[in-house]
A and B are shown apart, each in its own frame.
Chain A
Amino acid sequence: MSKGLEVSYDVADFMTSISRTDGIDETWGLTVDFMSGLGASHVGISLNLNEPEPLLLWTTPQWMTELFLESIYPELDLAWEHCRKSVTPYLGGKSVEGALPDLPETRRRYLEEITAAEIRTTCSIPVHGAEAEKWGIFDFATNFGPGDTHAFQKEFGAKVYLAATAAFRRLQNQIEKERNDPVPLTPSERECLLWLGRGLRNESIAARLGVRPVTVEFHLSNARKKLSAQTREQALATAMLEGFVSP
């Protein structure tokens, strides 16, 4: 585990790797890989940026994020409530909440839906800093049942918490930096828009770029935000009109 005096272990190596990334994409990619290696079916971060809605970065499909925002507005979410005030992880999901007698119906339906997407347990890790308003949540979702979850927490709980906190902080820094000096589209974002303009769908774009479809979605989502567009079509049109992209 250690050669001589320098201690190399997986979380520390992960922390080193994300400290050297060039941007959000790279950090997010490494984070998703590391967490998947620990058994996550999905990961996500919710970051409060002094704006009406938090920034959500998720590996789950868009419909799930929308369902969450529609039916369970963040402030009413139990995990949110806990994480706002506490620093300890919060376990949720059907495997944990399913047995609760007075679970609201909207919550029950939401949990059923996400179970279908391989999320039976969610571990929500609060991340707070020196400033009270700037806080967020790192979510580590698994397909585990209750028994497995307990064993997992015991064995890996500290490891996930440590890695999640490091990843969140790094992403927060990079996101804030990008917001403070808005830059034009990155090469990846531009390329995704380009292929979109040429009629390809996410899977084909992913194949062309040698990345995963979730990464393509990520690039397009960022491009939308930068171009203040509601849809990818609008993003594409805006990008073309402003001369960022010429397919």
Chain B
Amino acid sequence: MELDAAIDGRIWDFLSSINDADSASAVWEETIKFMRGYGASHIGAYVTTGHIDPVVLGTTPPWVWDEYLSEISPESDPATRHCRENVTPYFGGQAFDEVNPSINPKLKAYLGSLADIGIRASVMFPMHDRTNRDWGRFIFDTDLSADDFRKYFGEHGTSLHLAGIMSIERLHNLALQAGRMEARLTNRERECLLWLARGLRNDRIAERMGLRPVTVGLHISNACRKLDARTRAQALVKAIQFGMLQP
């Protein structure tokens, strides 16, 4: 595994560069550069925002994610189970198979095919939100042996951890901002949702806002449409997730 010389201090340049980057692809470019400098054979990021489509990025060929999402069920993958409930990192990959004697055969085969493209030992960094729900994962892959990787992680793990989660956080923020831009609720629409969040029904909202109930209904259904929500409850959730409301 090749390491760039003088990697100390580059973490700060990296944090600045992803903060300045104003698109997901720009953030991802910087992240790839940084992680390759730390000797990654591949990297991957998974970010959900409440959008219908999660953000899935990787330097790996498409089959890696496709096969994972279609063939490997979360319940059979200890890595996913771990990431759902913990914020601590998780080692995975074929190099660690020997620690996992009861490994699901499908998973074992999958890890075998990852090894063929230089992914033998990886670390996964989970991210959870304020309600402790997991919304993101950063994956750093190497072709090292288990022992070499453990040693390497002992030395550089913190920098990788910091860089990884800052990267997916930035991607998460950009996705949220994009969602807000797309939806662009009017003040009236936002106000109606706010009263809804406080437990009022249309007629009471109408009283508060000096409108007719049918107008309130219109504002709310417009909000639903803009937020791509099927119900007002879903619209509320999305609006809160995008930071449009402070109930």
Contact = CB atoms under 8 A, between A and B. Distances in A.
B183 interface: no
A188 B91 CA distance: 41
Contacts of A128: 19
B168 to A, nearest CB: 13
Given A11-B161, A154-B9, A5 B91 contact: yes
A158 B16 contact: no
B123 A157 contact: no
A109 interface: no
Contacts of A19: 87, 128, 132
B86 A87 contact: no
A194 B177 CA distance: 48
Contacts of B82: 5-6
Nearest to B98: A4
B159 to A, nearest CB: 5
A8 B154 CA distance: 10
A231 to B, nearest CB: 31
Contacts of A13: 88
A7 B164 CA distance: 15
A16 B173 CA distance: 23
A92 to B, nearest CB: 16
Contact of A4 (B9, B87, B99, B154): B99
A7 B123 contact: yes
Contacts of A16: 86-88
Contacts of A131: 243
A56 to B, nearest CB: 22
Contacts of B100: 4-5
B110 interface: no
Contact of A1 (B90, B150, B162): B150
Given A19-B128, A130-B177, A173-B130, A7 B90 contact: yes
Interface of B: 8-9, 11-12, 15-16, 19, 78-79, 82, 86-92, 96, 99-100, 123, 128, 130, 132, 150, 153-154, 157-159, 161-162, 165-166, 172-173, 176-177, 243, 246-247
Given A11-B158, A169-B130, 15 more contacts: A2-B91, A4-B99, A4-B100, A5-B79, A5-B96, A7-B91, A12-B87, A15-B87, A15-B88, A87-B16, A87-B19, A130-B172, A130-B243, A131-B243, A159-B158
Report, nearest first, the 9 A-B pairs whose CB atoms are least far apart: A12-B88, A173-B130, A7-B89, A130-B173, A87-B19, A4-B99, A162-B162, A158-B159, A88-B12
